[in-house]
Amino acid sequence: MECLKSFSFLINKTVNLTGADAKTWTTGTAQHFWAATTGAVSSTYNIEGFRNINVYGVDLVGTVQTLATAVSGQCIVNDWNIELVISGNQPLINSNITASPNYYNISNNSTNNNQFALGRFNNTLKFASPIESVKFFQLGTTTASGWGYNNSADINLFWNLNLVIYYDYEGD
Amino acid sequence: MDCLRSFNFALANQSNYDASLGFKHWQIGTAHYWLIDQSLPNVKYLVQGFKNINVFKIELSGDINSSPAFSPYETLVQNWSWNLQVVGQNSTNVGILAPAQSPGYMVIQETNPFLRLSKFQPSITFETPIQSAKEIIFTNFYCDGIANETTTSAQVGFVINVTVFYKYEGE
């Protein structure tokens, strides 16, 4: 990683998830739990400029939390993850997947392999062979869960995150 | 690690695990606890091509979680793990176990038939690689947590990306 460059951008969003996107339940008195999803939403960071970049790693640093200033929906966020698509040329080896059983849907095709999930407990990606000629980073569905919801009808989430990209220019 | 190459592949699935798939529920008062301990199936990634690879590191990224879409089988996941079997030649051990294995409380085995990668320890690294790796097998999915709404099953889903760090044999 010594010769790499990096850049970063901020993810800064708050929303109150409701209806089918926010499930709350109890297993008894004072046992409040919740699971929430943003569904199929996305934000895309496009790479521009004369030179292509090769991506060697990604760090997602920060928190998905709840806002004290939200009108309602405060909760304790126990776990969260965000889907990330890195659109570029994936490093591959000559390989195959045993067709059956393939219970976990292992895939080595590039369309599926460029999907990652970064979260509270797994917030970093590192590659020895880079993803080459990366065109964009697309942040997709966020899934979160926890306990202690204040209101059973909505869940307030606040994304307070930095995404750091480690790269070099093609040909360097 | 500077001269290594890497490739990656993805696992993506969601299932509603009941007792036939290793689901176990218990409760203390109104507090619900659960685990999934699934011995099968073995899922295989087969390495092919002219040159063998030596594996120096394997890293999982991603998470396992529940979703509102799984209602009423949603739950909170606290931990998860897989057994990975890298079929190849393990590094030569520099020691042996005492023949009598007494005390043998931890049931140590001289080779590493399985690498156990988990939510909080998703990576394993070797200075001496597993040589001529032919297969990477996923088996024995384990997952546990709290607060399952339904006591007979729990539904979880995941996107896990596996990065394998390697060299070609002879390099």
Q: How far apart are CA A162 and CA A169, in angstroms?
A: 22
In three-state secondary structure terms, B114 is coil
State both tokens at B126: 């070797």
Q: Is the pLDDT of residue B1 over 60?
A: no
Option in B6, B40, B68 nearest A21 (CB): B68
Distance from CA of B71 to the nearest CA of A (A): 7
A77 burial via Cβ count (<10 Å: 0-12, 13-18, 19+): buried
List CB contacts (< 8 A) between A25 and chain B. 72, 74, 147, 149
Q: Is the pLDDT of residue B97 over 70?
A: no
pLDDT, one tens digit per residue, over B126-137 is 888 999 999 999
Minimum mean pLDDT range among A31-40, A87-96, A123-132: A87-96
pLDDT, one tens digit per residue, over A101-151 is 888 888 877 777 889 999 999 999 999 999 999 999 999 999 999 999 999
Distance from CA of B92 to the nearest CA of A (A): 25
Predicted confidence band at A29 (pLDDT cuts at 50, 70, 90)? confident
A68 burial via Cβ count (<10 Å: 0-12, 13-18, 19+): exposed
Mean pLDDT, residues A93-104 taken together: 88
The reported pLDDT for the residue numbered B106 is 62
The reported pLDDT for the residue numbered A38 is 93
The reported pLDDT for the residue numbered B55 is 94
pTM greater than the 0.90 cutoff: no
The reported pLDDT for the residue numbered B95 is 64
Q: Which helix (H) or strand (E) holds A82?
A: strand A76-89
List CB contacts (< 8 A) between B126 and chain A. none
% of chain B residues with pLDDT over 70: 86
Residue of A nearest to B56 (CA): A128
Q: Is the pLDDT of residue B13 over 80?
A: yes
Which of B161, B162, B169, B171 should be substituted to probe chain A, the one whose Cβ sees the most A Cβ atoms within 10 Å?
A: B161
82-121 in B: which are within 8 Å (CB) of A?
119-120
Q: Count CB atoms within 10 A of the CB of residue B38.
A: 18
The reported pLDDT for the residue numbered B74 is 94
Q: Who wins on pLDDT, B150 or A104?
A: B150
